[in-house]
Amino acid sequence: MDKSQIEVIGDNHIGTSVKTPMRVDAFKHTDTEKIENIQFHFSKIMEEMGLDLTDESLSGTPYRVAKMYIKELFYGLNPNNRPKISTFPNTYGYQRMLVEQDITIDSSCEHHFLPIIGKAHVGYIPKNKVVGLSKINRLVDYYAHRPQVQERLCLQILKHLQTTLGTEDVIVVISAKQLCVSSRGIKDKESFTITLDYGGAFTHVDKRTEFFNILKTDGD
Ligand SMILES: [Zn+2]
């Protein structure tokens, strides 16, 4: 890809697949080795920018950035960190919609490595299985902590929940602010992006309307 193509893709946020594109040797190095290597390369970036790494305030930055990438911002790249989502039989026979709303989205755009911050709202209609509610939040958090595009994040959460819950009747809505739109490029401070995807019963407009009406209710 030449530089002009990179510029075009960078601002249009094209994602290429539902799966996060990963190298086959993605986990050849341990986390400790990854942190050491990123620390080295990030110090080179800082040096190239003319920063003096002997300064007390800057000297620890390459290590801090490396550790933050592997252990915090992008921990969701490693499948070993995927939350264990145990399901329970739907013994009480709950058959109506269940909605978990205002789940925090703390993600990063994969084209600029800048924050994507917002909220996710998830709804599902249980069949035979239900999950502990906090598990939905953990799953959202896991997929958010990768370099992402918002469309893919939405789909990854949807597909995972459909598989785990054994039903297509799931809807995921994400409303988020992209710092690469507000802090650079067009520098639009007010706009935000909404993505949604759904399956099963939510393909019917009345079910989606019911879901969106529930979202308007606040939690108190
Ligand atoms: Zn971006």
Distance 62 CA to ligand 1 centre (A): 22
Distance 120 CA to ligand 1 centre (A): 19
Tell me how far apart the alpha carbons of residues 13 and 21 are, in angstroms, rounded to a whole number: 14
Distance 145 CA to ligand 1 centre (A): 15
Cβ-based neighbour number of residue 80 at 10 Å? 7
pLDDT tens digits, 56-84: 999 999 999 999 999 999 999 999 999 99
pLDDT tens digits, 164-215: 999 999 999 999 999 988 888 878 888 889 999 999 999 999 999 999 999 9
Can you spell out the DSSP letters for 70-123? IIIITGGGSGGGSPP--EEE-TT---S-EEEEEEEEEEEETTT--EEEEEEEEE
* pLDDT, mean of residues 25-51: 98
What is the pLDDT confidence band of residue 112, given thresholds at 50, 70 and 90? Answer: very high
- pLDDT given at position 7: 63
- pLDDT given at position 182: 82
pLDDT tens digits, 8-18: 555 555 556 78
Distance 50 CA to ligand 1 centre (A): 25
Helix (H) or strand (E) holding 65: helix 61-67
Distance 6 CA to ligand 1 centre (A): 12
Distance 193 CA to ligand 1 centre (A): 12
Read off the amino acid at residue 105.
I
pLDDT tens digits, 115-159: 999 999 999 999 999 998 899 999 999 999 999 999 999 999 999
Cβ contacts of 105 within 8 Å, gap of 6 or more: 116, 117, 118, 119, 120, 140, 144, 153, 174, 176
Check: CB of residue 44 under 8 Å from CB of residue 113: no
Check: CB of residue 115 under 8 Å from CB of residue 184: no
